[in-house]
Amino acid sequence: MTANWVAASIRARSMAQLRLGAGRCRQLATAPSLPTVLELLADSGYAQRLVGVTGLMAAQRATRETLLWQLRVLAGWLPPGGTGLIRAIAAIYERDNIVALADAWQVARSSPRRTSSAGSPLRGLGSENSPRCRR
């Protein structure tokens, strides 16, 4: 076992200590309201990204961002041959980001007031005829 695998296994064990566990997950699932859920998560590994969150969608995004960040950190400790597993785990997040960007692009495209000075509905995407969008 190489040093990278040892470091990654130590990082993975550290991440596992932050998990909520079945009991806490059950409490979250049966909580009567979002404020109750946020209170239950206040001492968890998700707390930092949940500061100031008041809506369900924002809370869901914050928890997903926390997990994705942890996966990225773990991937940084893995040797190059081990990143395929992390990529497979993170694929659902990448898909969700692509779908969200496509949805936002469609909404912005349907509203001429939201276009940038370059004519792009979303900053950084470029126009339909740009080489970036034709790929």
Q: Which two tokens stand for residue 9?
A: 């296994």
- pLDDT given at position 133: 41
Q: Is residue 113 part of a domain?
A: yes
Whether residues 19 and 49 share a domain: the answer is yes
Asked if residue 78 lies in contact with residue 4, where contact means CB atoms within 8 angstroms, the answer is: yes
Domain holding 111, by residue range, is 79-135
- pLDDT given at position 19: 86
| Number of domains present in the structure of the chain | 2
Q: Give the tens place of pLDDT for each residue, 3-56.
A: 888 888 888 888 887 789 999 999 999 999 999 999 999 999 899 999 999 999
Count of CA atoms in the C-beta half-sphere (13 A) of 107: 6
- pLDDT given at position 130: 41
Q: Is residue 73 part of a domain?
A: no
Q: Average pLDDT in the 94-111 region?
A: 87
Whether residues 51 and 18 share a domain: the answer is yes
Task: State pTM to two decimals.
Answer: 0.66
Whether residues 61 and 84 share a domain: the answer is no
Q: Is residue 40 part of a domain?
A: yes
Check pLDDT > 60 for residue 69: yes
Q: What share of the chain is helix, strand, coil (3-state, %, to 5)?
A: 70, 0, 30
Asked if residue 74 lies in contact with residue 15, where contact means CB atoms within 8 angstroms, the answer is: yes
Give the CA distances from residue 29 to residues 26, 34, 60, 65, 78, in Å, rounded to whole numbers and listed in that order.
5, 10, 13, 19, 33
* CA 130/CA 84 separation, integer angstroms: 32
Whether residues 12 and 36 share a domain: the answer is yes
Whether residues 61 and 27 share a domain: the answer is yes
